Structure 1
Amino acid sequence: MTFIGRSLLALALLVAASPATFAADIKAGDLVITQPWSRATPGGAKTGAGYLTVQNKGSAPDRLVAVSGEIAGHIEIHEMAVTNGVMTMRPLEKGLEIEPGKTVALAPGGYHLMLMELKSPLKQGDKLPVTLEFEKAGKVAVTLEVQPVGAKGPGGEGGSMMKHEHKM
């Protein structure tokens, strides 16, 4: 086998073993949910965050209105923003709209799921079942895969993640 052939084979095996390729897309009505993940937390931490991407392939908007899961006392949909150098985080009381034909990424530094009153620390490799509730698509079971502390995306430290549209 040539050097190029071996290189292509090694690359194919690396991509096939990537954690991001293990999770299948989750379809709910016109929505497609991908890359659900979280970060490990230090012992004693009472909060964590969850991230994912939602694409609306339909012609009408939908809205993420609630999230629940056994790992936390309650889970809120949050927005983080930096305005005039001041970081603010707030719950989205009316949920998060996913416009038709658009993709919304819940990612570090923007929209995210705030896991509050954690019942135990989140450990790398854990799988956290949560239920997303949409106005139109209804309830959808999703599993957040816990990545290392400080991970930037669903593949761990070097994972890639789509940026959401919110300017910071």
Structure 2
Amino acid sequence: MPSTTSRRFLRPAALIVAAVLAASVTACGSSGTPSAAPSASASTSSSASAPGGVLTVRDPWVKAADKGMTAAFATLANDGDTDVTITKAATEVSPMELHEMTMKDGKMVMQAKEGGIVIKARSSTTLEPGGDHLMLMNLARPVEAGDELSFTLTFADGRTQTFTAVAKPFTGAQESYAPGHGESPMPETSMSPAS
């Protein structure tokens, strides 16, 4: 049976070993960098000292559609000290454009977002129906509710970031992304729900 003296030394030693193991596990999981949202991953093609930070992509989703056009939405958070500008987006199911809804001649119209989508430093931007969004221009196949699509964002500084979004049915903004939006914006009020 261990003596009282040896028991006094075993407890602190066990606590130290437990603390070292916990620190090791934490260090392996974080690798010293902030973690992104579970659905977002980033790859950097420029140096680590490039301006801007990695975006956190929250609640990404795509409006389900049988054909034609649809859009992807999310909340994009920039935890960095420099503004970040998205200059293009890509997915395997269609060509893409960055779009916005804006007032023109007293009507709300959809058009390409000139200069890209800017996410200010230490803030977030929401891509949503009736606002800025990532437009899928000509679907190669239907996007059905429950489908997971991978998207790659390209930033003004050349970095890229990939995230996955789930498709879901949505009729809330009464939008139908019909062919021709890229060339001639259509008033949102005349759009019908997607089938």
Q: TM-score, normalised by structure 2?
A: 0.59
Identity %, equivalent residues: 32
Please point out which of 87, 100, 112 is paired with 1:65.
Answer: 87
> Are 1:127 and 2:148 matched, yes or no?
yes
Displacement of 1:82 in angstroms is: 3.9
Asked which structure has the greater CA Rg, the reply is 2
Report if the CA contact (8 A) 2:70-2:135 is conserved. Answer: yes
Q: Work out the number of aligned pairs and report it.
A: 127
Query: CA, structure 1 residues 122+36, in 2 after alignment: closer, same or farther (shift >3 Å)?
Result: same
Displacement of 1:93 in angstroms is: 2.9
Structure 1 counterpart of 2:171: 150
Q: Determine helix, strand or coil for the equivalent of 1:117.
A: coil
Q: Determine helix, strand or coil for the equivalent of 2:138.
A: strand
Q: TM-score, normalised by structure 1?
A: 0.68
Q: Give the number of the structure whose residues are more often strand, by fraction.
A: 1
Deviations 1:109-164 (A, max 9, x none): 10001100110111000001111112247111111200124267xxxxxxxxxxxx
The Cα RMSD (Å) is 2.1
**Superposition pairs of residues 1-168 of structure 1, within 5 angstroms:** 24=38, 26=40, 28=42, 29-41=53-65, 43=66, 45-72=67-94, 74-82=95-103, 85-136=106-157, 138-150=159-171
- Unaligned 5+ runs, structure 2: 1-36, 43-52, 174-195
Displacement of 1:24 in angstroms is: 1.9
Q: Determine helix, strand or coil for the equivalent of 1:68.
A: strand
Q: Give the number of the structure whose residues are more often helix, by fraction.
A: 2
